[in-house]
Chain A
Amino acid sequence: GNSVTQMEGPVTLSEEAFLTINCTYTATGYPSLFWYVQYPGEGLQLLLKATKADDKGSNKGFEATYRKETTSFHLEKGSVQVSDSAVYFCALSRKTGANNLFFGTGTRLTVIP
Chain B
Amino acid sequence: DAGVTQSPTHLIKTRGQQVTLRCSPISGHKSVSWYQQVLGQGPQFIFQYYEKEERGRGNFPDRFSARQFPNYSSELNVNALLLGDSALYLCASSSTVTSGANVLTFGAGSRLTVL
Contacts and interface: CB of A to CB of B under 8 A. Distances in A.
B108 interface: yes
B42 A93 contact: no
A98 to B, nearest CB: 3
Given A93-B102, A95-B100, A105 B109 contact: no
A100 B100 contact: no
Contacts of A71: none
Nearest to A92: B99
Given A43-B107, A44-B106, A106-B41, A98 B97 contact: yes
Interface residues of B, number: 30
A53 B99 CA distance: 15
Contacts of B55: 98
B104 A51 contact: no
Given A43-B106, A46-B103, A49-B103, A101 B43 contact: yes
Nearest to B9: A41
A103 B103 CA distance: 14
Contact of B99 (A43, A99, A104): A99
B56 A101 contact: no
A83 interface: no
23 contacts: A6-B42, A32-B101, A32-B102, A36-B106, A43-B90, A43-B107, A45-B106, A46-B103, A51-B101, A89-B42, A94-B99, A95-B99, A95-B100, A96-B99, A97-B56, A97-B99, A98-B55, A98-B97, A99-B94, A99-B97, A99-B98, A100-B33, A103-B43
Interface of B: 4, 33, 35, 40-45, 48, 55-56, 58, 90, 92, 94, 96-109
